[in-house]
């Protein structure tokens, strides 16, 4: 176990938008490695949204342990640490196209939902897991769709500038099932555009 000190009072100072955006990153750690985090969110949603300190402290400790484990296993950034970028490939593009009106955690939530859709489309995860990912983010009051004003081709263009893209090929981190993630997955532009056009 990792020793973690957290000033829980700081969370009370956040406005609702920033608080919920922070929870997107917590949920991400559950979706990539520790399903307990997802279950805790589902079971304690009201307490989490009311910012109940004890529940939050347990949730955030689990989240910190995931990040700590991943970084410790890949301290040279040779591969595994890429899973911490779940939702970020599309999320960064959405963030830029929104001119930062949508904040980071909101955009990562959108990116995770579309990554789940892609994994389902590619036959890498089942519908129950894709739906559960979307549902937990929606429960937290996070956006789960790319705004209609954003043209798919613009999103694609920005994703090709992502550090994980190689030779013009967009690569995703995909969650295949609880605790099982694949990174560096190349996905054709057409598949991504089809996913973005689904409502």
Alpha helices in 33-168 (DSSP H): 35-43, 45-49, 53-73, 88-97, 104-121, 127-139, 152-159
Residue 4: pLDDT band with limits 50, 70, 90: low
Q: Is the pLDDT confidence value at 27 over 90?
A: yes
pLDDT digits (tens, 9 = 90+) for 160-184: 987 777 777 899 999 999 999 999 9
pLDDT digits (tens, 9 = 90+) for 96-153: 999 999 999 999 999 999 999 999 999 999 999 999 999 999 999 999 999 999 999 9
Query: What is the value of pTM for the model shown?
Result: 0.93
Residues 6+ apart with CB under 8 A from 140: 20, 23, 24, 27, 41, 45, 48, 49, 109
Give the integer Cα–Cα distance in Å for 16 and 78: 36
């Amino acid at each position: 176990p990792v020793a973690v000190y957290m000033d829980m009072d700081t969370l009370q100072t956040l406005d609702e938008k920033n608080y919920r955006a922070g929870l997107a990153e917590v949920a991400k750690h559950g979706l990539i490695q520790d399903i307990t985090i997802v279950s805790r969110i589902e079971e304690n949603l009201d307490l989490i949204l009311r910012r109940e300190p004890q529940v939050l402290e347990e949730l955030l400790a689990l989240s910190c342990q995931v990040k700590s484990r991943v970084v410790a296993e890949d301290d040279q950034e040779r591969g595994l640490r890429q899973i911490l970028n779940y939702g970020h490939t599309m999320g960064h593009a959405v963030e830029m196209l929104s001119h930062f009106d949508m904040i980071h955690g909101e955009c990562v939530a959108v990116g995770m939902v579309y990554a789940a859709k892609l994994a389902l489309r590619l036959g890498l995860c089942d519908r129950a897991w894709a739906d559960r990912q979307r549902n937990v983010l929606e429960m937290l009051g996070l956006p789960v769709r790319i705004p209609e004003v954003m043209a798919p081709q613009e999103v694609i263009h920005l994703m090709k500038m992502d550090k994980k893209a190689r030779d013009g090929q967009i690569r995703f981190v995909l969650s295949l099932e609880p605790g099982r993630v694949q990174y560096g997955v190349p996905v054709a532009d057409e598949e991504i555009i089809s996913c973005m056009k689904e409502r």
